[in-house]
Amino acid sequence: QPPVRGLRASPRARCAMPSWVIDRYGRNDVLRFTRDMVFPTIHFPNEVIIKVHAASLNPIDLSMRSGYGATALNMKRDPLKLKTMETEFPLTLGRDVSGVVMECGLSVSYFKPGDEVWAAIPPWKQGTLSEFVVASGNEVSFKPKCLSHTEAASLPYVGLTAWSAVNQVGGLNQSNCSGKRVLILGASGGVGTFAVQLLKAWGADVTAVCSHDASTLMKKLGADDVIDYRSGNLEEQLKTLPLFDFILDNVGGSTEKWALDLLKKWSGATYVTLVTPFLINMDKLGVADGMLQTGVTVGSKTVKHLFKGVHYRWAFFMPSGPSLDEIAELVDSGKIQPVIDQVFSFSEVPKAFLKLEGGHARGKTVIDVIGKK
């Protein structure tokens, strides 16, 4: 008789594991280490359980710790409102994982226990600052062979965010990028360092905006021009350069007011911003009104800019195993390298959060989960 509900029988009967969790939203003091986190179970036949070797932090982890997007995320966690209120806790943060497959649901044909994989887990699922994590097979991909787990964990979330912005929303790819002028605002963070390398691999001419102390790193990653946003008026500096075909904005805020004027008009040039009001609107206005308000904002901005002859788009992270497969190929062929600012041990997770909160990282903050505790 087959095992029940898409589970492969396994010898382990564990019920708890070490994890970093939060029990309420707030500042760094809400982070709590526990050895009693519920062990993840496979609920759907396409899921896999991954033993986490390394994880990394992204700005979304800070946002989620503080409760940003909770309305929208809870709607996604429990769309039918089956559970009572406040059931998201204890909540495990962390979106990136590099590790080893432990167990597979019955319909998973692509992976088997023992495979080395990487993934970015979407924000409505329990995170990776834990000994084990569950993911859908379509979110998972084989880890690049040339990277250690610690290196690999730095890339999935920022890589998929940049990929979504540049390729899926921006329409750029290997065959149409050659010679295009691209401007990256906020180039020294995780998404920026990835985007610079991706666009250079595809043959674009890349101008990176960052602070002065990151300029050596930008040059090393291949940026053609590096502009220090602190050395005078950024807008004036950029206006002296030839116009751009594509702008990727990781900064948002007042930048939008003038940055669109740096695009070539009526040539299909596109401005893609990763700073979207979607989750904030949902928290402030409630779900239906939030979606409506967001639709109105993006609609009016798009129309306004179309009249000026440029495209205005929003992008955000989307989990995708197939996109990670393409990213892994670029990594294994030497075109994209991880950029790691600092590695922390699993016991130092709060320290890692403080580091991320301090801002001005050069690349990624990584957590070595499996290292000596």
Token pair for 260: 């669109």
Token pair for 335: 């075109």
Is residue 183 domain-shared with residue 306, that is, in the same domain? yes
Is residue 303 domain-shared with residue 278, that is, in the same domain? yes
Q: Are 346 and 201 in contact (CB under 8 A)?
A: no
CA dist 283 and 76 (Å) reads 13
Is residue 302 domain-shared with residue 346, that is, in the same domain? no
Q: How many domains does the chain have?
A: 2
**What domain range is 121 assigned to?**
16-155+337-368
Residue 339, helix vs strand vs coil:
coil
Residue 226, helix vs strand vs coil:
strand
In residues, how long is the chain? 373
Residue 122 lies in a domain: yes
Among residues 337, 365, 280, the alpha carbon closest in space to that of 64 is found at: 280
- The number of beta carbons lying within 10 Å of the beta carbon of residue 170 is 25
Q: How confident is the model at residue 232 (pLDDT cuts 50, 70, 90)?
A: confident
Residue 296 lies in a domain: yes
Among residues 243, 249, 276, 246, the alpha carbon closest in space to that of 261 is found at: 243
The pLDDT score that the predictor gives to residue 3 is 45
- The number of beta carbons lying within 10 Å of the beta carbon of residue 6 is 17
The mean pLDDT value for 283-304 works out to 80
Residue 331 lies in a domain: no
Q: Is the pLDDT at 92 greater than 70, yes or no?
A: yes
The pLDDT score that the predictor gives to residue 202 is 98
Is residue 135 domain-shared with residue 177, that is, in the same domain? no
Q: How confident is the model at residue 372 (pLDDT cuts 50, 70, 90)?
A: low
Residue 328 lies in a domain: no
Phi and psi for 135 in degrees, rounded to 5?
-140, 155
Q: What is the CATH number of the domain that holds 350?
A: 3.90.180.10
Give the Å distances, CA to CA, from 161 to 166, 307, 318. 9, 28, 7
Q: What letter does residue 16 receive in the DSSP assignment?
A: E
Is residue 249 domain-shared with residue 294, that is, in the same domain? yes
The mean pLDDT value for 38-50 works out to 96
The pLDDT score that the predictor gives to residue 116 is 98
Q: How confident is the model at residue 86 (pLDDT cuts 50, 70, 90)?
A: low
The pLDDT score that the predictor gives to residue 4 is 47
CA dist 56 and 58 (Å) reads 7
Average pLDDT, the chain: 92
Q: What is the CATH number of the domain that holds 202?
A: 3.40.50.720
Q: Please give, one letter per residue, the 3-state secondary structure of 269-287.
A: CEEEECCCCHHHHHHHHCH
Q: What is the H or E stretch that residue 217 is in?
A: helix 215-220
- The number of beta carbons lying within 10 Å of the beta carbon of residue 256 is 18
The pLDDT score that the predictor gives to residue 283 is 77
Is residue 131 domain-shared with residue 20, that is, in the same domain? yes
Is residue 178 domain-shared with residue 42, that is, in the same domain? no
CA dist 228 and 237 (Å) reads 9
Residue 114 lies in a domain: yes
Reported pTM? 0.92
Give the Å distances, CA to CA, from 273 to 30, 193, 270, 277, 286. 31, 16, 10, 11, 23
Q: Does 307 or 88 have the greater pLDDT score? A: 88
pLDDT digits (tens, 9 = 90+) for 138-192: 999 999 999 999 999 999 999 999 999 999 999 999 999 999 999 999 999 999 9
The share of the chain scoring above pLDDT 90, in percent, equals 76
